[in-house]
Amino acid sequence: MVVGARTTTAVVALNQPALRDRRTTSSRSRLRDEGVIEAWGLGVNHTEPIEMTLALDEPRPNGFLLAGRYTLLDHAHALQRLLPMAAEQGVDMIVGGPCSSGVLADGTHFEYADAFPEIIEKVRRLREIADRPGGSIKAAALQCCASPASSAPRRHFRKASEDASGG
């Protein structure tokens, strides 16, 4: 939203502890309703806080950032429960962390620590499928997080050598 020469568009993100403080969420909703900010939301690493928030009458965030819970390695809960609930309520969902802290992008970390042998083995099996001619595990990781409930614009790569310009 633009008022004169001043841009008032703002997106305010909160973490889970901030959601527990009704003053914080009420003030964000009031600022949105008054047009001071355009939207506010919650950024978390687990699906449960989002589900609990969606089940409440108040607060009503505009969207959520879900990091690391809709990936090739971890997607069942988000896919089966959370994303349909968000879509039904018309709430924006941004999917973050599609490469699981790097392990799906030729890295060695999963959830910000050295990946356990079980995760390395799972990635190896996924790579056998994804790295067939014309594909890559990196591309599969990005394509996996595409969802009709996800509002974040993203370019889906067919090959790791492609860039955002389509090259």
Per-residue pLDDT at 151: 59
Q: Is the pTM of this model over 0.75?
A: no
DSSP state of 50: H
pLDDT of amino acid 10: 46
pLDDT of residue 128: 93
Which residue, 112, 51, 113, 47, is CA-closest to 77? 47
Instruction: Determine the Cα–Cα distance for residues 110 and 75; give it in Å rounded to an integer.
Output: 15
Q: What is the pLDDT along the chain (167 residues), one digit of tens a residue?
A: 333 333 334 445 555 555 556 666 778 888 888 988 888 888 888 899 889 888 888 778 888 888 888 889 998 888 889 988 888 888 888 888 888 889 999 899 998 899 999 999 999 999 999 988 888 999 999 888 776 556 553 333 333 444 433 33
pLDDT for res 122:
96
With b meaning 16 or more CB within 10 Å and e meaning fewer, what string describes 21-59?
A: eeebbeebbeebeeeebeebbbbbbebebbeebbeeeeb
Can you give the pLDDT at residue 9? 41
**Which of 66, 67, 68, 56 is CA-nearest to residue 25?**
56
